[in-house]
């Protein structure tokens, strides 16, 4: 969405294109390619903070090289929410779930920021297979008053397909 002094702010959105299958209690994970950290999150959280001991004052939300992200619960305070979040990981057919994160120790331009790799998307008793991360045309957004169009600085796309129920 925008660059920060040591990285970027991103919105992650998972779409359920399945026509009849809900995704109950999703988790999402990826591997950073540098030494990125998650400074903060809105609409989701990581399951573990990891070792952030090298930070003295401003402690990141997560220092995990492979963070695991879960949705927040309904009733989460408004200042911790973003649109389409906080459904306890329940992703109904045709709907979406989103969260926002501020990433640090990352590149600060489209030339230096690196795409995360090895995405996984899981849910209890469901297996998904995720393809590689692809750099695609930046997402465009229309403002609420429909009078202005903005666009993301970069957009990455990962497709995960239902493999089987376990």
Q: What's the CA gap between 153 and 41, in Å, rounded?
A: 19
Nearest to 86 by CA among 34, 41, 152: 41
51-98 confidence digits (pLDDT tens): 999 999 999 999 999 999 999 999 999 999 999 999 999 999 999 999
Q: What is the structure's pLDDT at 144? A: 83
Indicate the Cα dihedral angle 76, 78, 81, 85, nearest 10°: 60
93-139 confidence digits (pLDDT tens): 999 999 999 999 998 888 899 999 999 999 998 889 999 999 899 89
Q: Note the pTM of the prediction, 2 decimals.
A: 0.91
């Amino acid at each position: 969405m925008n660059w920060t002094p040591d990285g970027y702010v991103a919105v992650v959105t998972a779409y359920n294109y399945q026509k009849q299958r809900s995704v109950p209690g999703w988790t999402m994970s990826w591997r950073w390619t540098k030494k990125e950290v998650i400074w903060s999150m809105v609409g989701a959280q990581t399951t573990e903070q990891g070792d952030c001991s090298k930070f003295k004052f401003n402690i990141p939300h997560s220092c995990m090289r492979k963070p695991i992200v879960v949705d927040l619960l309904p009733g989460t305070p408004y200042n911790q929410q973003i649109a389409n979040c906080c459904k306890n990981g329940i992703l109904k057919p045709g709907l979406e779930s989103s969260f926002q994160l501020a990433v640090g120790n990352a590149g600060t331009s489209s030339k230096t920021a690196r795409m995360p790799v090895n995405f996984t998307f899981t849910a209890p008793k469901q297996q998904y297979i995720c393809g590689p991360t692809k750099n695609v045309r930046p997402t465009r957004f229309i403002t609420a008053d429909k009078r202005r169009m903005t666009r993301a600085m970069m957009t990455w796309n990962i497709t995960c397909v239902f493999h089987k129920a376990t």
